[in-house]
Structure 1
Amino acid sequence: MRTSTRSGFWLLCLPLVACGGAANSEVFGVDPPAEDDEAQPPQILANRFLLALPGPEVTEEITLELDKSKALEMFGEEAARRIRILDVDSTALLGHVLDSIRDACGTGWRIDRKNPGYDCAQTALGRTFGPMWRTSAEFGLVRLLGMTPANTELSGTSLETFAALVEQNPGTFRFDFPQVLAESLGIGRTDPVVPTDALVRALQENLLGTHPGIDNSAGTLPVTLYDALKDLSTLPEKFGPVPGAHPGVLVPDDAFFATRSDVLGPDFRMRVVAESHLRRVRGVDLSSGGGDMFVMEGSTPLSFDFEDPERLVIQGVADVPTVDMRFATVEADPFIPSCEADPRCRPFFLESIVTSGARRAYGRRSYDRCYVELNGECLVGVEIGQGGAPPGWITFANAIRGVTVPEPRFLWDLLAEVAQISLHDPTGDGTPDIPEGAARPVFALQNVPIGPSGAELVRAMRPTLQSQADLMANVIVGRFWENNHDLDFYVRRGAEGGLPLLYFVAPSDRKPDPAGFDRPKPYAYERPGFFTSPDLAEGSRISRRQIPGVLDTEHEKVPLSPGELVLYAQDDTRDVYEIRILVPEEEGRDMVVDFEKVASRRSR
């Protein structure tokens, strides 16, 4: 049995007990238990104690007022990392990322002309590419994202001579190559060849979805309480490189760049109102005397309603949350003609992402046009998904000497080939500036909108928090038992206006283990309950688990009518005690409890 005394155990500070220290969070609405000298009534005889008749039990509420530092102090880092507060749809975020990269060197790509007139010194992001930006992998990806039928550079690709035929004979044909390409793809002359929305879905599935820290095909980003309280500075750790498994979505921070977000401002405050399921009871430890403890009704010590705007109030969330982050992509080491069946083309490689995006955009494409015809024979033409071929299968007709065209293949494989060559030849002169396998662009992005507004994030947060209400309750006050006395029985009201009941402790009544405070004491009662005979014969059992009008069915209980009651009970060391209880007629007077050991059943 536990015989040590304790300092006052305040339910007011229960959240702090769970955190292992004092904090400045404010908790209201619950009275503290008495100190030991109050919890133990004045001793009249060596084995006599007074127990107050319990009054009606009232459900208490706890209010938490938290800022970022107080929330982190209360929950602790380990628990805060486990509490997921949001699953952020990455669609808008990735769209903003691609737009920022594509426009990093100007918006001339939107004009119907061969030369977009790029100048990376125009923007803050473009200037991070350095003075040699024209031959950088970053600029190569800028050109790839801004590639349109009007500005596509096909030097070094299998379309090079076909494009040259048209471009070098401007007065010969009634069409130019941008028209051929635009019509074949079914897009405008200044539309990106691989649409942004298709690339976003490819990034979600291929890059984000394959990362161990994300691991879902929708590319939804899990955000924990710890992430939010640390202003998302934890994201490179979560979504960075995983050796042997993934190259990472974000680049780890260093002396030159720090990931951060303004989603929670300096004025962030969170007010949470919870209902307590803890009840303070007084009773007797048969080996040492009177005391008190907290017992829990139900499976958790607190209940939350995070979807009630009056019981969860969040302030100080940015209207348009943004994030600073470094985004990166990597390519496979060799040139890969087709990702369709090449095991070297892993999903997160740039080649696979472009192929997947193009397949999404043109997977159902069908087209048929002859551009140059003579005597019923098509000399120059394009067929997609014709003659029994599946949608997206492209075939070029060519009967002109000196002109070569690509072999029949899927349209997305052709576009992936063009993209790979363009990425390694950012100057567009037909000579690669970047060796195969060395294109690993990194983009230091500032103030990228996350997507949802602050109000939308708060709305999305509510059901996510509610799904983890039990976890949060146990983190905050799950160790309420650490200061409980080692009672054998206690007194509670069975129902409003009903008789008081003597409760024998049950397994749900948690008490600290003398062997260590990291876990509750194991339940070791062999004969729980109250009896009328010292031999504890089952026929003399006077307590019952089920009593009409009482919801509890776990505890052995005895109604306490006015007058004297003589009982016998065994403690968890198998000592048997005689217990005499005098219940007063009048409310407001204390019960008198006398007890003494009458037998020991301990192993000898």
Structure 2
Amino acid sequence: MGEDSAAELTLLDLDTEGLLLSALEQIQHACGDLWQRDDADPGHDCALTPLGQGFGAEWRTSPEFALVRLLTMTPANADMTGTSLEDLQQFYENNPGTFSYDFADILAEALGISRTAPLLPIPKLVQALQQQLLGTHPAVPDADGRKMPVTLYEALHDLEPLSEKLGPSGGHPGVLVRDDGTFTTRSELLLPDFEMRIFAESGLRRVMKIDLSKGSKGGGHMFVREGDALLRFELDDPEGFQITGVAEHPTVDLRIALRELPTTVPSCTETPACQDNSPDMPVGDGTIWRVSPFLLEPIVTRAAYLTYSEREFTGCYFQASGSCRLGMNIGQGGDPPGWTVFNADLSFPPDPPPQVPSHQFLWELLTEIAQVVVHDPTGDGAREMAEGEVQPVYALQGVDLGITADDVTAGFRRALESRAGEIAESVVGRYWEENASLDLFYGRGAPGGAPYLYFVTKDDLRPSDQNPAVPRDYTYTKPGFFTSPDLDAASKVSKKEIDGVGDKTHEKLRLLPGETMLYMQDDEAAVYQVRFHVPDEEDPVEIIAEVRRL
């Protein structure tokens, strides 16, 4: 099998969930694990991990850390500086002891998560990346991005071709960064001692035949096919198919990249029009569902949408005179699930009431927060990166492919089964080039069974007289054996189907002991009389044929 065939042969339909989950978890923990505490300080330190060290000495203002900050944002450590929730958060922080709860409690309760859970859960981000980034890439046929074909060629080359395959293509920015002098995509899918052994039984049988045009001495040999396969593989038999040197839990080193828009995406806040804003029916110019799906902003929105699309909640945090003066409603009062309405009619003079976000879907509010966070990773209120500059690239090592050695072995088995004919052709080659141009042969109808006289079929390939490199045309007009020299149908004594004989394609006849006179025609339409002498034995495997052209 050549490289072109190997490149076309799918070895695995890789479930991308495990791969993306492993990659995102590496990124999320690139700067430590202290963000999981119930503490306003996430305690990031990118010097703690090899991946984080790659962000550079100025990691606090790097695009890579900016995304880490977003992935590790929890109600406990959320910093809303610069967002539409900044005023509300400051309202609570500036009045400590006034309330029995804090801003983190409100945020956690509104989202239905714990104080230390990420606002954007990794499993939902995996789904968003599948749908928005992978599923839109030309090299991924699955529109949902759940399955990605891995070819035999890619596996044999340690998955290095993936950087080109999943790189920028057309208008798509790519999933991976193409390899260069600083990084090479590489997998431990197949180890250095990889070996595959396949055992097969030949589907060819060597037979002695007669070339009618050369008379009684016009014998020779041919290889004829028995059944449809040149080789019969026993791929389900442990003895017939053996693979060693496959990693038990394969991993891959790769560079994944994300790209953002050069402009801010506004939330859709017009009521009631924006209550219909959805992935399938975008509302408004330049709003999130009109943005190219493979960019960072819509990926974040999709993850938030998948997480909170059915969210309904009502919470009142301060009541006075029988009315709620400070609260939040999500999907209430006939509004669709996820539609978020803040109420802030409470102040401590001379300060005015806190400003709150406009009415909008919860996932668009989280997208607005994300856009601020990634451009101000230090959280000091001053943007370290302009719009369009957040283009993180992560050189990830040892990303779990989410498969096992058994999955790889099963993939090889399926691939070989699908190309068994092609493999057999490459192994056996042009076996027919050495075949004699014979017309009939004598052989057993089944292992250990009685012998029969066979007439050749179009599948019994023989070299052409004009060009031995191509098969001879099958020009027989009356294949079979007859008892009359005029070869009329009534005198035909051979059959294709005989009880107890597996072959169903050849004209064949059981010769009885003694002498039998038959007539037949060769591929040049010449008619011959053949007198067969079969010894009176229990198992006659050799016969004598006297040939005469009429």
Q: TM-score surpassing 0.5?
A: yes
TM-score range, shorter chain: 0.7 to 0.9
- For residues 226-263 of structure 1, give each alpha carbon's deviation from its aligned partner in whole angstroms, at most 9, with x where no partner exists: 2222222222233332223x332222211111111112
Instruction: Name the residue aligned to 2:162.
Output: 235
Q: How does 1:124-523 map to 2 (within 5 A)?
A: 124-216=50-142, 217=144, 219-244=146-171, 246-287=172-213, 289-337=218-266, 340=279, 341=282, 344-400=290-346, 401=352, 403-455=354-406, 457-458=408-409, 462=413, 466=417, 472-473=423-424, 476-477=427-428, 480-496=431-447, 498-512=449-463, 520-523=471-474
Q: Which has the higher contact order (CA 8 A, sep 6+)?
A: 1
Displacement of 1:317 in angstroms is 1.8
Write the distance in 2 (CA, Å) between the matches of 1:511 and 1:206: 56
Deviates more, 1:251-260 or 1:172-181: 172-181
Structure 1 residue 463: Cα displacement? 5.7
Worse-matched range after superposition: 469-478 or 415-424:
469-478
Aligned length: 523
Q: Helix, strand or coil for the counterpart of 1:572?
A: coil
Shift of 1:446: 0.9
TM-score (norm 2): 0.86
Distance in 1 separating the partners of 2:464 and 2:60? 69
**What are the residue-to-residue correspondences of 1:24-39 with 2, within 5 Å?**
none
Q: Which amino acid aligns with 1:373?
A: Q
Q: Which moved more, 1:563-572 or 1:144-153?
A: 563-572
Matched residue, 1:45: none
- 1:567 aligns with 518
CA contact (8 A) 2:513 2:534 kept: yes
Are the structure 2 counterparts of residues 579 and 329 from structure 1 closer, same or farther at C-alpha, using a change threshold of 3 Å?
farther
Out of 534, 541, 545, the position equivalent to 2:496 is 545
Q: Tell me, what secondary structure is at the counterpart of 2:328?
A: strand
Structure 1 counterpart of 2:455, which letter? Answer: F
* Residue in 2 that maps onto 1:592: 544
Q: Against the structure 1 CA distance between its residues 308 and 169, is the aligned structure 2 distance closer, same or farther, given a 3 Å change threshold?
A: farther
Rounded Cα–Cα distance in structure 2 between residues aligned with 1:515 and 1:209: 54
Q: CA deviation at 1:396?
A: 0.8
Deviations 1:138-193 (A, max 9, x none): 22211111111122232332222222222233343332222211111111222111
Partner of 1:100: 26
In structure 2, stretches of 5+ residues that fail to align are: 268-277, 347-351
In structure 2, do the counterparts of structure 1 residues 416 and 472 end up closer, same or farther at CA, with 3 Å as the change threshold?
A: farther
- Structure 2: how far apart are the matches of 1:561 and 1:469? 39
| Aligned counterparts of 2:533 and 2:311: Cα–Cα separation in 1 | 91
Contact 2:6 2:153 in 1 (8 A): yes
Runs of 4+ aligned residues of structure 1 deviating over 6 Å after TM superposition are 514-519
Q: Aligned equivalents of 2:3 and 2:414: distance in 1?
A: 22
Deviations 1:474-513 (A, max 9, x none): 5554754454333322222124555422211113323455
Q: How does 1:16-55 map to 2 (within 5 A)?
A: none
Stretch deviating more after TM superposition (511-520 or 548-557): 511-520
- Are the equivalent residues in 2 in contact too, given 1:321–1:453 (CA < 8 A)? yes
- Displacement of 1:222 in angstroms is 2.1
Percent of matched pairs sharing the same residue: 49
Residues 1:332 and 1:518: Cα distance change in structure 2 (over 3 Å): farther
Question: Structure 1 443/486 Cα, relative in aligned 2: closer, same or farther at 3 Å?
Answer: farther
Amino acid at match of 2:303: G
SS where residue 371 of structure 1 aligns? strand
**Aligned partner (choices 1, 7, 14) of residue 88 of structure 1:** 14
Alpha-carbon distance between aligned partners in 2 of 1:513 and 1:344, rounded to the nearest angstrom: 64
CA contact (8 A) 1:561 1:583 kept: yes
Preserved CA contact (<8 Å) 1:499 1:560: no
